Amino acid sequence: MTSVPERIAADLETEILARRLDSGARFALRTELIERFAVSANAMNEALRILRERGVVTVKPGVQGGVFIAQPPPQVRLGVIDLWFRGLSVDAVDLFEARSVLEDGFAAVAAERATPEDARDLEWALEELRDRKQDPRLYLEANMRFHGVIARAARVPVLANVYESIITLMRGALVRAEFAVPDPSAALDRNVEVHALLARAIISRDREALTGALAAHRTDLVRLAEPSRSPGRA
């Protein structure tokens, strides 16, 4: 069961990410937060301790003190979805690049080795992608499962394990996902159609169609893997 300080810490971290505050920005006074959440000083101190340990905030005493942003987590824009990661040992954009390189290779091999069962799984994964367009995190999960089906269809176990390690790392480090625009439907429709082109090319073993589908997928990724940076950040 989640404790009160843990719930407060989660709410505050969500707010900090949504406000896109820079490192060193003043977030609030501790007394303001105690009043706002209507909790004891001990409960708030524990919530802030959790956030300090995560590297989200620092707390400074005195007249000029308060709760300050320590270090905003790495943020990547995946099309119309903003993603924040915490605790990654490598750059988030580098992870997406490695993921996309492997996905291209898997698609090419899967077009030669995919079985009827793989084709069925691809259709199911594509349907899930269509059904998850209302939630950015669920859509990302469905996207990763779709490409996981292709990775398995390629039947290169060593590389499939590497790919799964990348996906596991991304899942474990993702702290927030949200749509970057109020109405992302057109962009998501296009992204689903790109994946449908990939699925059809693999299932039909159409090398020419696959080349076109991969080119369309890479075009999306050029847009999708652009890092989203706050003002003043390099």
Q: List the pLDDT tens digit at each of the 234 positions of the chain.
A: 779 999 999 899 888 887 878 888 999 999 999 999 999 999 999 999 999 988 889 999 887 889 999 877 778 888 788 888 887 888 888 888 899 899 999 999 999 999 999 999 999 999 999 999 999 999 999 999 999 999 999 999 999 999 999 999 999 889 888 888 889 999 899 999 999 999 999 999 999 999 999 988 877 654 444 444 443 333
**Cβ count within 10 A of residue 15:** 12
- Is the separation of the CB atoms in 39 and 8 below 8 Å? yes
**For position 87, what pLDDT does the model report?**
79
Instruction: Give pTM, 2 decimals.
Output: 0.76
Phi, psi of 199 (to 5 degrees): -60, -45
**For position 234, what pLDDT does the model report?**
31
Q: How far apart are CA 64 and CA 86, in angstroms?
A: 28
Q: How far apart are CA 192 and CA 97, in angstroms?
A: 20
Question: In terms of DSSP bridges, do strands 75-78 and 57-60 run parallel, antiparallel, or are they unpaired?
Answer: unpaired
